[in-house]
């Protein structure tokens, strides 16, 4: 019997999911997934006599986020008195959460156990893996973080922006390092990704070894050798019971292009261009940014970095020695005009058509120093995040209209994703040979397909666990069980710099305002008689253009008058009551007339 709280959680999640456009599909898949995991749990129970496994006798594995979404990655492993957390990321908001900056993992389940947390392992410096650190570490008793050098610097730089967040205790580790934390031993290994210093971790527990690969892709040198293949083999030799594996690109066939080919293609474009080059990419693609600066230097070009986050990342990587170029290669934007256009490379954020990013300002002519010129070459070295297709297309069109050339990865291979496609996933499965496979990251379908790949590689179906956020798994000497217990993983939303205090009511209001607009009714009433002193004022925003709808305006005024007139005379004005009447009756009236439900905001002035 699940505890009461978990049922409440489920209904909250369902409600949340239902709000989304594709809600039915999502909740259906969640239900199916749940039925599937439940069936597995039932099978286990009947096979195991009446004896039920107690969580304290097993190693608990829980994903607080990162499943059923891209981002918000956070998992933890618990055995008796010890807990290890892996990653602490945030998720960028979705369309149904207007005005929300980020969504972070829900740690209600961990808070009462914070004294047991022995380590937080951060696999790499992307925000979907580090983003929630400033918000959550204080609430978890500020446990020690274990991570690599560059990741440490990125986390520390960001922490400086949060004045009230605690000073972090970060232990820098290297590939191959081992650390004893409580009942666990951590063994860190190298993986290839789009940012230097990416790693995975093997958590050795008294009941078995759990490997988590973080985010990874495989990359090959020009003689076809896979980087870090030795690391994978080393992990395989440890004997891996549970593999938690990045499934983001499980739907993509093949092995994917190598980064050196991407870089070669970019170099070719650099050579063909005879004017300025403007490259748009993600500030998180730090490895490629470094390569682009290197090529520019080789070709005698000066580099301008456009975008705050990108500037910060490049600076950190340069200070720590990950990037090596001559002083004077990177110049400030003010120095741009001292150089011929063909000697200038601009690397910019905003490849997704984000309204506030540097690229949008250039394209719209709002940038203080950079305007598009005829002869410019724009290169989009990035993928288009699903949902952004239209804004990226508009952006591309606007560039082309102004006479510049545009290249993207549809025209030429100038992007490699940070996540392994099918054939590379199979290579990892072959090297690591896990007993149990738990696909993590991304949506259900991708995790499901990753599970299918596991089957193809010979992992028995019953050992492949396709689970959702908040599902509890128990690892014993010979099994990995899914239990009935569900951990609360409902959204915690960050609004500006305030933490997690955006209630459902606030969200509902924002949705209503965004979709339906609002009407403000200002009514001046005689305090004693409750009569209207003058014609009520009506202001509308985002609803309909009032000037063109004089009749509706008149009708609303008449409605307000009739509401006020029906209030019993000679009675002190009860303004809350009048407001409620306005909201309800004007709301209904407007709906009847327009089939829309704007938010009604009554203001009562008593004289």
Q: How far apart are the first and last CA of the chain?
A: 60
Residue among 21, 68, 102 nearest 492 (CA): 102
Choice between 71 and 598, CB closer to Zn ion: 71
Q: Does 192 bind Zn ion (CB under 5 A)?
A: no
60 or 126, CB closer to Zn ion? 126
Q: Given the complex with Zn ion, which of 123 and 306 has the nearer CB atom? A: 123
Give whichever of 249 and 408 is closer to Zn ion, judged by the CB atom. 249
By C-beta, is 126 or 288 nearer to Zn ion?
Answer: 126
User: Nearest approach, Cβ of 90 to Zn ion (angstroms)?
Assistant: 13
If binding means CB under 5 A, how many residues of this protein chain bind Zn ion?
2
| CA dist., res. 302 & res. 135, Å (int) | 38
Q: How far is the CB of 439 from Zn ion (least distance, A)?
A: 16
Nearest residue (CB) to Zn ion, 87 versus 472: 87
Both tokens assigned to 583: 């909201």
* Measured distance CA(593)–CA(4) in Å, rounded: 44
Stretch that binds Zn ion, among 133-141, 215-223, 269-277, 381-389 (CB under 5 A): 215-223
User: Which one of 43-51, 124-132, 370-378, 550-558 is the stretch in contact with Zn ion (CB under 5 A)?
Assistant: 124-132
Q: How far is it, in rounded angstroms, from Cα 348 to Cα 303?
A: 11
CA distance 116 to 345: 50
Which residue(s) pair with 492 in the sheet? 104
Q: Which is nearer to Zn ion, 127 or 380 (CB)?
A: 127
3-state secondary structure 452-518: HHHHHCCCCHHHECCCCCCEEEEECCCCEEEEEEECCCCCEEEECCECCCCCHHHHHHHHHHHHHCE
Least separation in angstroms between residue 442's CB and Zn ion is 12
CB of 379 to Zn ion, least distance (A): 22
The partner residues of 119 in beta bridges, in order of sequence, read 84
Among 87, 109, 215, 297, binds Zn ion (CB under 5 A): 215
Choices 9-17, 119-127, 149-157, 310-318; region in contact with Zn ion by CB under 5 A: 119-127
- CB nearer Zn ion, residue 246 or residue 479: 246
Backbone angles phi, psi at 29, to 5 degrees: -65, -40
254 and 448 in contact (C-beta within 8 Å)?
A: no
Q: Could you give the residue ranges of the DSSP H alpha helices within 463-607?
A: 504-516, 550-566, 575-581, 587-594
Question: What mask of x and - would describe binding to Zn ion in positions 166 to 185, judged by CB under 5 A?
Answer: --------------------
Q: Please, what is the minimum distance in Å from the beta carbon of residue 66 to Zn ion?
A: 11
Which CB sits closer to Zn ion, 215 or 488? 215
Phi then psi for residue 122, to 5 deg, are -110, 120
Smallest separation, CB 392 to Zn ion (Å): 21
State which residue, 126 or 152, has the beta carbon closest to Zn ion: 126
Binding segment for Zn ion (CB under 5 A), chosen from 77-85, 214-222, 261-269, 531-539, is 214-222
Question: In angstroms, what is the minimal distance from the CB of 317 to Zn ion?
Answer: 15
Q: Please choose, from the candidates 381, 63, 422, the residue with its C-alpha nearest in 3D space to the C-alpha of residue 210.
A: 63
The C-alpha atoms of residue 524 and residue 445 are separated, in whole angstroms, by 58
Q: Which of the ranges 44-52, 84-92, 164-172, 213-221 carries the binding residues for Zn ion, by CB under 5 A?
A: 213-221
Q: What is the DSSP string of 523-550?
A: EEE-TTT--BSSPPEEEEESS--GGG-H
Chain positions 142 to 161 lying near Zn ion, rule: CB under 5 A, are none
Question: Virtual CA dihedral for 428, 37, 209, 474, nearest 10 degrees?
Answer: 170
Q: Least distance in Å: CB of 124 to Zn ion? A: 6
Q: How far is the CB of 349 from Zn ion (least distance, A)?
A: 16
Q: Where are the beta strands (DSSP E) in 274-357?
A: 277-280, 302-306, 344-348
CB of 211 to Zn ion, least distance (A): 17
CA dihedral 187, 193, 195, 201 (to 10 degrees): -10
* Minimum distance, C-beta of residue 282 to Zn ion, in the bound complex (Å): 10
Closest separation between CB of residue 89 and Zn ion, Å?
Answer: 9
**Stretch of residues binding Zn ion (CB under 5 A), selected from 33-41, 210-218, 347-355, 566-574:** 210-218
Q: How far apart are CA 311 and CA 303, in angstroms?
A: 11
User: Which range in 33-41, 118-126, 142-150, 474-482 contacts Zn ion by CB under 5 A?
Assistant: 118-126
Nearer to Zn ion, 197 or 488 (CB): 197
What stretches of 132-221 show up as alpha helix (H) in DSSP? 133-136, 149-159
Token pair 């380590």 in the structure block, residue: 119
Q: Is the dihedral of CA 244, 381, 321, 218 positive or negative?
A: positive
Q: How far is the CB of 364 from Zn ion (least distance, A)?
A: 30
Nearest CB to Zn ion, comparing residues 16 and 217: 217
Q: Which two tokens stand for residue 598?
A: 């704007």
Binding segment toward Zn ion, per CB under 5 A, in 123-131, 476-484, 500-508, 542-550? 123-131
Give φ, ψ of 480 to 5 degrees: -125, 110
Residues 106, 487: Cα–Cα separation, whole Å: 9
Among 126, 302, 431, 447, binds Zn ion (CB under 5 A): 126
Q: In whole angstroms, how close is the CB of 126 to Zn ion at the nearest point?
A: 4
Sheet holding 471-475, edge to edge: 170-172, 145-147, 117-121, 82-86, 74-79, 59-65, 471-475, 480-486
Spatial contact of 292 and 269, defined as CB atoms under 8 Å apart = no
- Binding segment toward Zn ion, per CB under 5 A, in 144-152, 207-215, 396-404, 432-440: 207-215
| Cβ nearer to Zn ion, comparing 126 with 416 | 126
Show the binding pattern over residues 530-559: x = contacts Zn ion (CB under 5 A), - = does not. ------------------------------
Task: Choose between 70 and 427: whose C-beta lies nearer to Zn ion.
Answer: 70
Least distance CB 336 / Zn ion (angstroms)? 32
Choices 106-114, 126-134, 314-322, 434-442; region in contact with Zn ion by CB under 5 A? 126-134
Strand order across the 599-606 sheet: 537-541, 518-525, 599-606
Q: Which is nearer to Zn ion, 208 or 418 (CB)?
A: 418
The binding site for Zn ion (CB under 5 A) comprises 126, 215
């Amino acid at each position: 019997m699940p505890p009461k709280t978990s049922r409440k959680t489920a209904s909250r999640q369902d409600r949340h999911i239902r709000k989304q456009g594709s809600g039915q599909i999502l909740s259906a898949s969640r239900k199916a997934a749940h039925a599937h995991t439940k069936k597995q749990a039932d099978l286990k129970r009947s096979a195991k006599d009446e004896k039920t496994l107690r969580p304290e006798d097993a190693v608990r594995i829980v994903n607080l986020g990162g499943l059923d979404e891209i981002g918000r990655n956070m998992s933890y492993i618990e055995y008796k008195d010890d807990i290890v957390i892996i990653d602490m990321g945030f998720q960028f908001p979705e369309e149904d959460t207007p005005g929300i900056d980020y969504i972070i993992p829900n740690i209600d389940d961990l808070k009462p156990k914070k004294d047991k947390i022995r380590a937080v392992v951060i696999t790499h410096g992307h925000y979907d893996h580090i983003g929630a650190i400033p918000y959550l570490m204080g609430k978890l008793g500020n446990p020690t973080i274990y991570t690599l050098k560059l990741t440490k610097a990125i986390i520390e730089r960001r922490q400086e922006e949060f004045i009230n967040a605690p000073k972090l205790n970060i232990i820098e580790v290297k590939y191959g390092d081992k650390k004893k934390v409580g009942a666990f031993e951590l063994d860190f290994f190298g993986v290839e990704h789009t940012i230097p210093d990416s790693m995975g971790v093997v958590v050795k527990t008294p009941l078995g070894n759990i490997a988590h690969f973080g985010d990874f892709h495989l990359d090959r040198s020009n003689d076809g050798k896979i980087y870090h293949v030795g690391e994978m083999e080393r992990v395989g030799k440890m004997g891996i019971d549970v593999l938690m594996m990045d499934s983001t690109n499980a739907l993509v066939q093949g092995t994917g292009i190598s980064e050196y080919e991407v870089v070669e293609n970019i170099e070719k474009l650099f050579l063909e261009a005879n004017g300025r080059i403007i490259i748009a990419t993600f500030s998180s693609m730090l490895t490629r940014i470094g390569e682009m600066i290197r090529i520019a230097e080789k070709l005698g070009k000066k580099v301008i970095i456009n975008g705050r986050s990108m500037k910060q990342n490049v600076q950190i990587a340069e200070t720590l020695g990950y990037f090596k170029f001559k002083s004077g290669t990177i110049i400030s934007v003010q120095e741009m005009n001292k150089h011929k256009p063909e000697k200038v490379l601009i690397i910019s954020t905003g490849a997704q058509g984000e309204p506030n990013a540097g690229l949008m300002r250039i394209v719209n002519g709002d940038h203080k120093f950079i305007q598009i010129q005829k002869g410019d070459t724009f290169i989009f070295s990035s993928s288009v995040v699903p949902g952004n297709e239209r804004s990226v297309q508009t952006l591309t069109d606007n560039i082309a209209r102004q006479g510049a050339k545009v290249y993207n990865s549809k025209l030429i291979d100038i992007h490699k994703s940070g996540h392994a496609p099918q054939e590379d996933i199979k290579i990892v499965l072959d090297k690591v040979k896990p007993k149990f496979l738990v696909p993590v990251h991304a949506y259900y379908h991708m995790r499901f397909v990753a599970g299918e790949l596991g089957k193809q590689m010979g992992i028995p179906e019953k050992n492949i666990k396709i689970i959702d956020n908040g599902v509890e798994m128990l690892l014993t000497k010979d099994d990995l069980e899914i239990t009935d217990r569900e951990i609360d993983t409902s959204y915690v939303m960050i609004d500006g710099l305030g933490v997690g205090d955006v209630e459902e009511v606030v969200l509902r209001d924002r949705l209503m305002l965004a979709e339906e607009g609002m009407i403000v009714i200002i009514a001046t009433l005689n305090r004693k008689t409750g009569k209207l002193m003058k014609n009520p004022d009506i202001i509308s925003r985002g609803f309909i253009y009032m000037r063109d709808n004089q009749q509706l305006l008149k009708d609303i005024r008449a409605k307000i008058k009739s509401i006020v007139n029906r209030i019993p005379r000679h009675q002190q004005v009860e303004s809350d009551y009048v407001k409620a009447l306005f909201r309800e009756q004007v709301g209904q009236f407007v709906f009847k007339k327009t089939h829309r439900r704007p938010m009604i905001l009554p203001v009562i002035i008593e004289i």
